[in-house]
Amino acid sequence: MKIIDIKEESIKLNLSLSNSMFSFKEMTTSIVKVDIDDGKSIQTGFAFNSTGRYACGAQMRNRFIPRLLSASESDLVDDAGDIDTKKALDVMLVGEKPGGDMERSVPIGTIETALWDAISKSKKLPLYKYLSQKFPEYNSTNRMFCYVGGGYYDVGKTINDLKDEIKKNFENGYRLMKIKIGGAPIKEDIRRVEAAIEAAGSADNIALDANGGLKKDNILTYAKELKDFGLSWFEEPTHPSNFSSYKEFISNYEGSVAGGENLYSTQDYLNLIKYGGFRENKDLLQIDIPQSYGISYFNEALIELKKNNWNVNKIMPHGGNQMSLHVACGFGLSMCEAYPNVFGVFSGYDDEYQLDDGYIDLSDRPGIGFEGQNELYRLFKDIK
């Protein structure tokens, strides 16, 4: 088995949405196509760097793609002759100085994830099943609870519009929704939270996401004002790397807190749970796998986290897409997020998937299954 070609293309999202920190108006993403020869036929894998970070094709073309395409067979394959994704990761990291992970973890992770798609197609297995074979120590499943993300700030969007959005998502089968906070004056934000709870029927059906946008002069006010609401969790109240601020917020908020989607190395995850005040069996660690060196690296991160008493049932991937859904199922994580009709063609899952009281059952479509997302698959097929 060998890699024969890798291509990247930048796509603009053209969205008007905003969270507490920025508008998605200028946001781009990289889509990737990887061709491998498995000795019988050519298999093609796809991936994209999930929305929230910009396209990263320059790093791919200048460093990581050439390293993979020029590597020897012994540098890339395992004893069975299959491409070893951990070896591929090591090849892409040759000459890379420790630190500054995000500059390379996003392009590397996207390419590595596309490799998994191609390899699992070669095995005629859905990715989650292939992951269960490669990593049998985890409780793989084909059924995953999915919460829905939304509640963005948008031009002309009212509180009633937010309530309608929540009701529609619950009518469509979701049972937990995450909404944005921190992008409006605190009194207005609290009214939004109260309206969200009313629409969802219960506070534990609502989670909040500040995207690291709360300020020094209001973060503890948010914590104290919302601590007794009984919300499912409060996500990224502070800058992703401000561990002391996380710790202070948690001590004042007391409820469940989530974070980690904007951290990109195992050491960062360990620092967050060690120094950010995170509590075992209460708080949630989020990792965006394609943006954090990919799936092989994620497995190594899980090993280190377990040494620090952090269990997979308190890890949920960031990124509401097919990639994260398969990883969540393959590693038996706590839940996965979904973003239907939010990020254009990059939203949601397989067009045929149906929610069953908050749960989704994965099909046996080989690989990640982008072929079941017709509009997105058309983009992948057109990569030149």
Q: Which of 81, 71, 82, 2 is CA-nearest to residue 37?
A: 2
To the query of whether residue 318 is one of the catalytic residues in this protein, the response is yes
To the query of whether residue 180 is one of the catalytic residues in this protein, the response is yes
R_g (Cα) of the chain, nearest Å:
20
Q: Which of 187, 205, 189 is CA-nearest to residue 197?
A: 205
Per-residue DSSP letters for 150-184?
Answer: ---B-TT--HHHHHHHHHHHHHTT---EEEE-SSS
**Other beta carbons within 10 Å of 10:** 13
Phi then psi for residue 47, to 5 deg, are -165, 165
Q: Which of 120, 138, 192 is CA-nearest to residue 161?
A: 192
DSSP conformation class of 313: G
In the set 180, 239, 274, 282, the catalytic residue is 180
Q: Which of 211, 268, 275 is CA-nearest to residue 243?
A: 275
Residues 6+ apart with CB under 8 A from 188: none
DSSP conformation class of 80: T
**C-alpha span between 106 and 49 (Å, rounded):** 7
* Alpha-carbon dihedral sign for residues 363, 364, 370, 371: negative
In the set 318, 326, 381, 384, the catalytic residue is 318
Query: N- to C-terminal Cα distance for the chain?
Result: 23
Point out the residues that are catalytic: 180, 318
